[in-house]
Amino acid sequence: MKLLLFILFFVLTINNSLNAQRGKDGSYTVTTANEWLNTYTFLTANASVGATNISVQDNSLAGAVFTSNLEAGDLILIIQQQGASLDVETLLGPISGYTAQTSWSGFGQGGTEPDWLQNEFGQIVNYNNAGNFEMVEVAGTTGANQIDLVCGLTKNYTSAGHVQVVRVPRFQNLIVPTNLSVSCPLWNGTSGGVVAIEVLGDLELLGNGTISASARGFRGGELNNLSALTGDLNSQGFLGAVDPIEGAENGESIGGYHAEYDAIYSRYGRGALANGGGGANYHNAGGGGGSNVGTGVFTGKGVPDPGPNGEFVPAWNLEDPNMLTNTSSGGGRGGYSHATQNNNPLTLGPNNAAWGADNRRVTGGVGGHALTLDPNRLFMGGGGGAGDANDNMGGAGGRGGGIVFLTVYGAISGTGTIKRMVVLEVMRRVPLLLHLVRKNQVMMALVAEVEAVVSISRIIYPFPIPLQLTPTVALVEIKIFN
């Protein structure tokens, strides 16, 4: 970790123009369950570093708790949701109707492949601008489709990667009473799935009051009813396919959804695309789970459940003796294919003719790839792959979690909860001594009075941070690079 300190040695006079707009929306108490506090639009053109205006579908951003259209002093969150490049060999698609990983060498064609092939397929080759985000203060609007910014952008954004712009309320204080909650609209491919709030004073979550973006993120694979029985009971089906008869839909991810998956001939099939879960393959297997950030080896199998007292261990060992010890980052694999005989799975393993019908094969969707932790990027949870179906008894994939982005300058109190991907910035003036702690060691002690931005994912304070505001003698800008 590198720490760059830029210290301007002069007596700082309080510049009200920098902070006057914080708290401009007054104090607010949530009044209903699942109340929306944000409004949304999206970029209609690319935006580059340094740009002082952006083009959007509609710059009014009225509604929710806002009593007027977007204006000078308001705050917006810009975030690119998708646009990553994936490991998929697209040359095969138009010719054969199926796809594999780029290291394809005869595998991936529907036989039983080594795990390393399914692990490569759909992995992220380049994040590009996916996940880029920043908070920007508004200078004003021009016409109906331009937002003017106080400062130039610090990141690049590609409109084809579905960049949404979220209007952020700037509360003095915010109270979420018991039995009430803050939520957001579902992600629909262009906007939604994000709760973003700035609070100059205190945030109180009373009783079971909740701020949640649970199941508001990337969409699950949609259900189709076109499954076919395989002619080869030793086959696991294709990793990626063009025809829905070959498997169920993949869950949405930072690599895209229907249009993007169709472009790489991989909308269907058990292979996972980025952090979206793979769709189940024939016949009647389960879809893979979506994922978000994770570490460790990826195999697409997830973390098998041993049971409360280890009673499921024999069943996993019958598939693979190393199943329980070689766990995977990312999403969990979908369940086995169709069987008609009532055997004991603790004594009879999968892919056995004694199960009847489709032999209870390992054809479930691969779990979504784990994303790399990057404090400069934010991601929604991947959607789950759909289950394979032919008799109107299957299920679509579940939605991934959305994003909760809170900037709180005062205290956070109460017994409520904040759910799903949470970015929490707690801002304080820290008098006299700022400790940067890494691995329980004080790496740097700066004797000065500073205004610090504290991100719980990057800096850990071993003591309560005082709230009092005191005159400062030096302006210190701290940038942290992992």
Mean pLDDT by 10 residues, the chain (482 residues): 31 38 96 98 98 98 97 98 94 76 55 63 96 97 98 98 98 97 98 97 94 95 85 81 92 98 95 96 92 91 91 94 90 92 95 92 94 94 94 91 93 86 50 27 27 27 27 27 26
Residue 346, SS3?
coil
AA letter at 29: T
pLDDT for 2 equals 36
Instruction: Kindly report, residue by residue over 297-342, the tens digit of the pLDDT.
Output: 998 889 999 999 999 999 999 999 998 888 999 999 999 998 999 9
Bridge partners for 176 per DSSP: 205
Token output for 158: 């590609």
Give CA–CA dist 209/13, Å, rounded. 39
DSSP 311: T
pLDDT for 97 equals 78
Contact (Cβ atoms closer than 8 angstroms) between residue 273 and residue 380: no
Residue 217, SS3?
coil
Contact (Cβ atoms closer than 8 angstroms) between residue 92 and residue 104: yes
Phi and psi based region of residue 152 (left: phi greater than 0; alpha: psi -120 to 50; beta: remaining): beta
pLDDT for 426 equals 52
pLDDT for 332 equals 92
Q: Which segments within 170-232 are labelled E, that is strand?
A: 170-171, 174-176, 181-183, 194-199, 203-205, 210-212
Angle at 166 between CA 222 and CA 330, to 5 degrees: 45
Q: What is the pTM of this model?
A: 0.83
Token output for 144: 């109906």
pLDDT for 235 equals 79
Q: What is the DSSP string of 368-421?
A: PPPBPP-TTB--PPPPPPPPP-SSS---PPPPPP-EEEEEESS-EEES-EEESE
pLDDT for 440 equals 27
At 116, give phi and psi (nearest 5°). Answer: -65, -20
Q: Where are the domains of the chain?
A: 1-30+169-217+401-482, 88-121+223-400
What separation in angstroms does the CA of 320 have from each of 115, 237, 282, 326, 362?
Answer: 12, 19, 21, 10, 11
The per-residue b/e assignment along 208-226, b for 16 or more CB within 10 angstroms, e otherwise, is ebbbbbbbbbbbbbbbbee
CA neighbor of 63 nearest in space, from 42, 44, 36, 43: 36
Give CA–CA dist 290/368, Å, rounded. 5
Token output for 250: 């993949």
Instruction: Kindly report, residue by residue over 350-369, the tens digit of the pLDDT.
Output: 999 999 988 999 999 999 99
Contact (Cβ atoms closer than 8 angstroms) between residue 43 and residue 149: no
